[in-house]
Structure 1
């Protein structure tokens, strides 16, 4: 079954995004590669969900489908959010623009009046604790600071809504945004992300291969099988004590090893 424009993305209620029986294949004939096979997943408004799995299991493919950057081969993706914003592994800032201008860009493209977008940009830079760095260009910023700018830019896109979409929840898609950073900077930015998420109330789908990161950040961890990816297990992880967090991290690590081993033995 081939997904059409009408049946692959349609309005829905009660969730920010819902995936039902989502398949994705690349290529044709004998060269067909199945990346995803029958993924079912609901993300509630304001929920922080971490997608976890081995390299090549289809995590990024799934994120691209939710973002509308690609189409599912079959199944449905129901969006009940403003247009999803995406944050990648690399900050991908425009090097000729200042930090403030990079954050302002999606608002400018959306036709937001100049005074309103300047005000919103200032608020977002303050939210990510870069209110004094707006005039700096990307090469003048550290890696962690560049990712903060990228986060502010994604929030500018996710939290900006037209009158038509004003009642819809916002949705932020994050593809291993801290993986290229050193351990200390990554730890700091994880804490900052949680603060920003609690402040904004946006739904987050966060892709990672780091179990500790998933347990620390998410309210729910979703484990995908090795390729073709499908949901094999889920865990609620919000509000755990430190000992509970450590124990669950080990449980999920063990389950991940089992998934990888079963794929290797197949």
Structure 2
């Protein structure tokens, strides 16, 4: 079977998500901790943006706010999709459901008719190169295969939340960090292939500069707590030599940010 999931036709929408002056504090009074302070970020439909920064800089907090799992203390977040999908470090699959049923779940919750969701599920399984394992349960799959199922489920959620249009949004929180180096490398390539096939906008959180430059079209560096946008780089379509130079440049800037925070 050949996957027939088509890349969406671009629309006139200029942003999949836009954050303006977003600030997030936890707690109240003198014990309040400011995690984010004045984040401005726009992700275009179909764009792949990597959020980079040291541990604790607020990268995951940004994703939680975009996903509506939490609310900003101030500022605004505009979404052109009502159901941004989230993929975490762990696959978090329902262990009693088969791979196909896990993928089908968000489509069922969105009210997609049975025949249509079964067809879409088969297409998504093919898209992530798991066409023959739809009847397997999570414990029968390798870690990399479980993450492929989680990716297909996230795509099902993103597509069902916005009718499959280009403004659908996928939020990824270090989804490959728990995998071995070889599996991680393979899945990074697979993610790029799937992203190009679907046209879904991606916000990808990582602390790995090389991963950010390999995957993203744009890399956004956050400062240490409170998180602010320090610098952005266009990394789309770089030659091998330019990519290596950009990695060195971003690494140097990241070390500078971490050092300045430690000295504060």
Query: Could you state the TM-score of these two structures normalised by the residue count of structure 2?
Result: 0.94
Structure 2 residue aligned with 1:193, among 185, 191, 199? 191
Alpha-carbon displacement from aligned partner over 1:139-179 (angstroms, at most 9, x marks no partner): 000000000000000000101146xx665611000000000
CA distance in 2, matches of 1:212, 1:120: 33
CA distance in 2, matches of 1:179, 1:127: 22
Structure 2 residue aligned with 1:173, among 171, 174, 182? 171
- How far does residue 81 in structure 1 lie from its aligned partner after superposition? 2.5
Contact kept, 8 Å, 2:221 with 2:254, in 1: the verdict is: yes
Structure 2 residue aligned with 1:238, among 236, 241, 246? 236
- For 2:135, the equivalent position in structure 1 comes to 135
CA distance in 2, matches of 1:167, 1:219: 20
CA distance in 2, matches of 1:22, 1:41: 9
- For 2:3, the equivalent position in structure 1 comes to none
Q: Does 1:211 align with 2:219?
A: no
Which sections of structure 2, spanning at least 5 residues, go unmatched? 1-11
CA distance in 1, matches of 2:63, 2:219: 15
- For 1:61, the equivalent position in structure 2 comes to 61
Contact kept, 8 Å, 1:82 with 1:168, in 2: the verdict is: no
Distance 1:30 1:161, change over 3 A: closer
Which sections of structure 1, spanning at least 5 residues, go unmatched? 1-11
Q: Does 1:107 align with 2:107?
A: yes
Provide the aligned length of Structure 1 versus Structure 2: 253
Contact kept, 8 Å, 2:158 with 2:169, in 1: the verdict is: yes
Correspondences of 1:64-75 after superposition (within 5 Å): 64-75=64-75
- For 1:5, the equivalent position in structure 2 comes to none
